[in-house]
């Protein structure tokens, strides 16, 4: 039972990381950035090349992936979303899907379709409690990195000047602009932050498991389920939702069915939408008249 729970928590940590990156951008800028699925893929490839071509250690590779994806996030914001800032969320959603398709197919064209894994022989050992739990070191690292990223995000948003500006924009963009908050810079920083987190998630998945050019679409869909589950725009909800879905998936696979794994998670999404449309931690909204 402990093994099943821990399996779910590891998966949940990655889901939470993706969901947080989606939530950060959505809650501050109201951009449903599904293109983060593509960033997730490119993050994995960046870390892979950092380790295999440049012979860098795993941690440096993860940092490089985060840095490169932050820059890519800013470029994407300028190219695909800046002009849509006053447009509806539907328009931004279409643009985000375009980004996702472009990034995934770009990765296919550049690096092909073969499945890869980031080799980290230093982490090639298993933590074991006989009869209770076996956990590869890489899965422990996933926990640690995700926890660090969440803590870092928390302190940045609470303490840093730009973090405060982000919160101001999230609360009321017009008022923030009137008070002199530079919206363009906030948008760039927000995209950089969200994209860096998605890039780190990609690097972790690429190391613990395998990765392919098309893994972003399903991952971002699952992250979206987590976001809705936790409550649209709630970082706390994304964390809880991520772990919840990870554990539900793990128990479903182990005790119910492996054939309909996604059916269970997406059914959960529908149930939440029916009975609590605002999600677990979302603000209750009145039914539109």
Partner 1 sequence: MKKWGVLWLVLLLAMAGFGLVLPGNDAWAQKTLRIGELAGLTGGIAPYGSQLHNARLLAIEEINSKGGIPVGSEKCKLQLVHMDAGPPAEAIKVFERLLTVEKLNLILDGAYSSVEYALAPVLKAKQAIVIWSGGNDPGTTVGVPNAFRNHFDGGTPFAKVNEAFLKKMGIKKISTYGQQGHSDFKRFVEEHLPKVPGFSVLSSDWFPFGEKDYFPVLTKIKNLKPDAVITHGFFTDGVPLMKQAREVGLFPGPLFLHQFAAAPLMMDEASRKVWEGSYEVLVSSLAGAAEPPPKSKKFVDDYLKKFGDRGLGGWAEVGYDSVYILAKALEKAGTVEDIPKIIKALHDLTIGDIPQLLQDYKPGKIFDAEGQAYPKIVVMEWKGGKQIPVFSDYGL
Q: C-beta of 36: minimal distance to partner 1 in Å? A: 17
* Window 222 to 261, contacts with partner 1 (CB under 8 A): 249-250, 253-255, 258-259, 261
Q: What is the CA radius of gyration of the chain?
A: 19
Q: 69 with 199: CB under 8 angstroms?
A: yes
* Window 29 to 88, contacts with partner 1 (CB under 8 A): none
Q: Which is nearer to partner 1, 90 or 113 (CB)?
A: 113
Q: Which is nearer to partner 1, 255 or 275 (CB)?
A: 255
Confirm or reject binding of residue 134 to partner 1 (CB under 8 A): yes
**SS3 track for 94-131:** HHHHHHHHHHHHHHHHHHCCCCECCCCHHHCCEEEECC
Confirm or reject binding of residue 179 to partner 1 (CB under 8 A): no
Confirm or reject binding of residue 214 to partner 1 (CB under 8 A): yes
Helix (H) or strand (E) holding 134: strand 133-136
For residue 133, the SS3 value is strand
Options 67, 98, 106, 136; binder of partner 1; rule CB under 8 A: 136
Q: Which residues contact 73 (CB under 8 A, 6 or more apart)?
A: 39, 191, 192, 193, 194, 195, 196
Query: How many C-alpha atoms does 239 have within 13 Å on its Cβ side?
Result: 11
Number of residues that bind partner 1 (CB under 8 A): 31
Helical packing angle, 2-29 and 235-251, nearest 10°: 150
Interacting stretch for partner 1, rule CB under 8 A, among 52-60, 205-213, 231-239, 277-285?
205-213
Confirm or reject binding of residue 263 to partner 1 (CB under 8 A): no
Q: C-beta of 70: minimal distance to partner 1 in Å? A: 24
Helix (H) or strand (E) holding 236: helix 235-251
Q: Which is nearer to partner 1, 6 or 65 (CB)?
A: 6
Confirm or reject binding of residue 113 to partner 1 (CB under 8 A): yes
Exposed / middle / buried, residue 16 (Cβ in 10 Å: 0-12, 13-18, 19+) = buried
Helix (H) or strand (E) holding 92: helix 89-111
Q: Which is nearer to partner 1, 25 or 62 (CB)?
A: 62
Confirm or reject binding of residue 221 to partner 1 (CB under 8 A): no
Confirm or reject binding of residue 140 to partner 1 (CB under 8 A): no
Query: How many C-alpha atoms does 78 have within 13 Å on its Cβ side?
Result: 9
Q: C-beta of 250: minimal distance to partner 1 in Å? A: 5
Options 57, 105, 119, 151; binder of partner 1; rule CB under 8 A: 119
Confirm or reject binding of residue 207 to partner 1 (CB under 8 A): no
Q: C-beta of 280: minimal distance to partner 1 in Å? A: 23
Binding site for partner 1 (CB under 8 A): 3-4, 7-8, 10-11, 113-115, 117, 119, 126, 128, 134, 136, 205, 209-212, 214-215, 249-250, 253-255, 258-259, 261-262
């Amino acid at each position: 039972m402990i093994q099943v729970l821990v399996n779910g928590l590891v998966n949940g940590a990655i889901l939470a990381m993706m969901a947080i990156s989606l939530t950060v951008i959505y809650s501050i800028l109201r951009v449903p950035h599904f293109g983060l699925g593509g960033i997730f893929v490119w993050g994995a490839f960046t870390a892979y090349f950092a380790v295999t071509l440049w012979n860098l250690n795993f941690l440096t590779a993860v940092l490089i992936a985060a840095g490169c994806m932050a820059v890519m996030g800013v470029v994407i914001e300028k190219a695909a979303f800046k002009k849509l800032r006053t447009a509806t969320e539907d328009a931004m959603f279409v643009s985000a899907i375009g980004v996702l398709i472009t990034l995934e197919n770009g990765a296919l064209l550049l690096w092909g379709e073969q499945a890869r894994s980031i080799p980290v022989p230093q982490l090639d050992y298993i933590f074991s409690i006989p009869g209770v739990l076996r956990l590869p070191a890489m899965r422990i690292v996933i926990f640690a990195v995700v926890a660090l990223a969440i803590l870092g995000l928390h302190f940045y948003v609470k303490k840093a000047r730009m973090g405060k500006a982000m919160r101001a924009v999230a609360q009321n963009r017009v008022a923030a602009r009137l008070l002199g908050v530079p919206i363009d810079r906030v948008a760039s920083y927000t995209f950089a932050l969200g994209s860096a987190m998605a890039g780190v998630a990609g690097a972790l998945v690429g190391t613990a498991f395998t990765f392919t050019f098309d893994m972003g679409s399903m991952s971002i869909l699952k992250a979206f389920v987590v976001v809705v589950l936790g409550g649209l725009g709630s970082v706390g909800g994304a964390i809880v939702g991520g772990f919840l879905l990870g554990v539900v998936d793990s128990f479903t696979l182990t005790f119910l069915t492996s054939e309909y794994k996604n059916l269970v998670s997406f059914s959960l999404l529908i149930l939440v939408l029916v009975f609590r449309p605002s999600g677990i931690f979302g603000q209750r909204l009145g039914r539109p008249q």
